[in-house]
Amino acid sequence: MSLEVLGISVLWLFLFGYLIIGSIDFGAGFFNAYSLLIGKKHILTNIIQRYLSPVWEITNVFLVFFFVGVVGFFPKTAYYYGTTLLVPASIALVLLAIRGSYYAFESYGSRGHKGYSFMYGMAGLLIPASLSVVLTISEGGFVTIIDNQPVLDYGALFTSSLTWSIVVLALAAVLYISATFLTWYANAAGDREATELLRKYALIWAVPLAISVVGIMVELRKHNIEHYNRMIDFWYLFAISAVMFVITVGCISIKRNYGLAVWLLIGQFAFAFFGYGISHYPYLLYPFLTLYDSFTNQAMAISLVVVFVLGLLLLIPSLYLVLKLFLFDKDYVRGKGDHHA
């Protein structure tokens, strides 16, 4: 395996971690706000708060690793994406600040304030929507070089049906992943009422998720036929993902085996996510930027690989401790172990 492929593989792994953990976090914030607005706070809020309290700080670690690694491994991405992502990235940073502020308001202000919770929940939906724009831009057709500077055509970007199909997929995926995980979490807590409500949400959001995937394939065929054909070449990865999706929905709706559903969900998104990444190879920004013409020097690459491996060795035990002490601790899950926090 070349250093270029190794570098992007490590980064893609961190981004996948952010996809799963971030989606659970973002969706939980939305469901918390929604439960307050529709008067079902008594059903969901306790379960969601017990999940959010120990893990919200961890979510952005994956994103930080990814962005630092992208610029480190592929310095030219800063040139091509630095100016073109100025607006979407700025919006995402503001939204992340709003989410961070929420915990301060909750801890030192009025707990359960509808305004704070609503802003927190909406920020959780708008962050993946704004970040998903990067995937659209990477497909090409929206960036032109003017006076040796990349310029993003905002008109073409925001009137493109591909853009909005990816945004819909991002939102549906966030809510589906979060609802599925929280269904298992509520069931482990023995909260039957919360389990049934979250189970209903998971099944509801499975439908737009499936529709948006089909929609993206249709739009991608019209927009970037080369990438579409590459995805067809790796059809078996997406087929496995689709089968796992069907089984996951079956586990939620019929078998009610929520633990298996969560593992199948992770596998489903892993096959689809890495299938998408492999089919996009070797482009970082079609057709201007590839892995090979933007890669850093060998010494820097080796140093980054070492640092990222050490980071994983530190991050994985930390995640394990959080999971063991909080999420998988029966007393804490059932609301009897709040002393851990």
Say which CATH number the domain at 133 has.
1.20.1630
Residue 205 resides in a domain: yes
Residue 38 resides in a domain: yes
Residue 221 resides in a domain: yes
Phi and psi at 284, nearest 5°, equal -100, -35
The one-letter amino acid at 98: I
pLDDT tens-digit readout, 163-201:
999 999 999 999 999 999 999 988 887 778 888 889 999
Residue 88 resides in a domain: yes
pLDDT tens-digit readout, 293-326:
878 888 888 888 888 888 878 877 877 777 777 6
CB 231 within 8 A of CB 276: yes
Q: Where are the beta strands (DSSP E) in 197-280?
A: none
**Residue that is written with structure tokens 């008109």 in the block:** 155
pLDDT tens-digit readout, 6-17:
888 888 988 898
Domain that holds residue 77: 3-282+314-340
CB 107 within 8 A of CB 320: no
Residue 335 resides in a domain: yes
Residue 52 resides in a domain: yes
Residue 296 resides in a domain: no
pTM of the predicted model, to two decimals?
Answer: 0.87
- The pLDDT score that the predictor gives to residue 265 is 96
The one-character DSSP state at 340 is G
Q: Is the pLDDT of residue 339 over 50?
A: no
Please tell me the total count of domains within the chain: 1
- Mean pLDDT for 216-228 is 91
The band of 63, judged by pLDDT with boundaries at 50, 70 and 90, is: confident
Q: Where are the beta strands (DSSP E) in 116-187?
A: 143-146, 149-152
| Cβ-proximal residues to 202 (8 Å cutoff; 6+ apart), any chain | 176, 179, 180, 183, 252
pLDDT tens-digit readout, 244-258:
999 999 999 887 899
- The pLDDT score that the predictor gives to residue 341 is 40
- The pLDDT score that the predictor gives to residue 104 is 60
The band of 34, judged by pLDDT with boundaries at 50, 70 and 90, is: confident
- The pLDDT score that the predictor gives to residue 167 is 92
Quick one: what percent of the chain has pLDDT higher than 70?
85
Q: Is the pLDDT of residue 336 over 90?
A: no
Phi and psi at 2, nearest 5°, equal -75, 160
The one-letter amino acid at 268: Q
- The pLDDT score that the predictor gives to residue 329 is 60
Selected residue with higher pLDDT from 243 and 326: 243
Residue 83 resides in a domain: yes
Pairing of β 283-285 and β 149-152: unpaired
